[in-house]
Amino acid sequence: MYRVCFVCTGNICRSPMAESVFRARVVEAGLDALVEVDSAGTGGWHEGDGADPRTVAVLEAAGYEQDHRARQFRASWFAGLDLVIALDAGHLRDLRSLAPTPEDAAKVRLLRSYDPAATAAEADVPDPYYGSRAGFEQCLELVEAASAGLLEAVRETVKEHTA
């Protein structure tokens, strides 16, 4: 099983959104028996909470399913993960510093690095938490734009593992 974990700050906005979108892409591609998708936060403030109601509303409006409980990312998880997807540069830095080995640190990538239209200056998925629903809708657009490239990268890796 190939395991992907999306990570943002509190695991109630961006990472559960990315988890729902990417899981839908994995299912559409027929890879759900080979790829496991989840999410976590760098902090534990919301541990056990559901996704932000605005995240839920935007996902449901776009036809995505979600059933989420927030949790905090743990360094011990690196051993069981193949890819750790950070939603912004701060998460990338935090996760790489948490990684027990250089190999684990290399598993951490920025989500928007998989979006060919994103420039280096646009590498982050902005945190919509303190804004309006429009910020959550923009977040969904950015996540969807990067998900196709991420799916291709995962599909290639999974093919190599199963070949």
User: Residue 161 pLDDT > 80, yes or no?
Assistant: no
Residue 161 inside a domain? The answer is no
Is the pLDDT reported for residue 76 higher than 90? yes
Residue 163 falls inside a structural domain: no
Annotated catalytic sites, by residue?
8, 14, 127
The β-bridge partners of 36 are 3
Give domain status of residue 51, yes or no. yes
Per-residue pLDDT tens for 57-74? 999 999 999 999 999 999
The model's confidence at residue 160, banded by pLDDT at 50, 70 and 90, is confident
141 inside domain: yes
* Residue 67: partners with Cβ closer than 8 Å, 6 or more residues away: none
Q: Which residue type does 15 have?
A: S
The domain that contains 21 carries what CATH number?
Answer: 3.40.50.2300
Mean pLDDT, range 102-121, rounded to an integer: 96
Domain count within the chain: 1
Burial class (CB in 10 A: 0-12, 13-18, 19+), 17: buried
Residue 139: inside a domain = yes
Domain assignment of residue 95, given as a range: 2-155
pTM for this entry: 0.97
82 inside domain: yes
Whether 81 maps to a domain, the answer reads: yes
**Residue 134 vs residues 24, 33, 56, 146: alpha-carbon distances, Å:** 22, 34, 13, 19
Predicted local distance difference test score (pLDDT) of residue 135: 97
Is position 108 within any domain?
yes
pLDDT digits (tens, 9 = 90+) for 3-45: 999 999 999 999 999 999 999 999 999 999 999 999 999 999 9
- Whole-angstrom Cα distance, residue 52 to residue 30? 29
Percentages helix, strand, coil for the chain (3-state, rounded to 5) are 50, 15, 35
Provide the token pair at 100. Answer: 């027990």
Average pLDDT on 63-92 reads 97
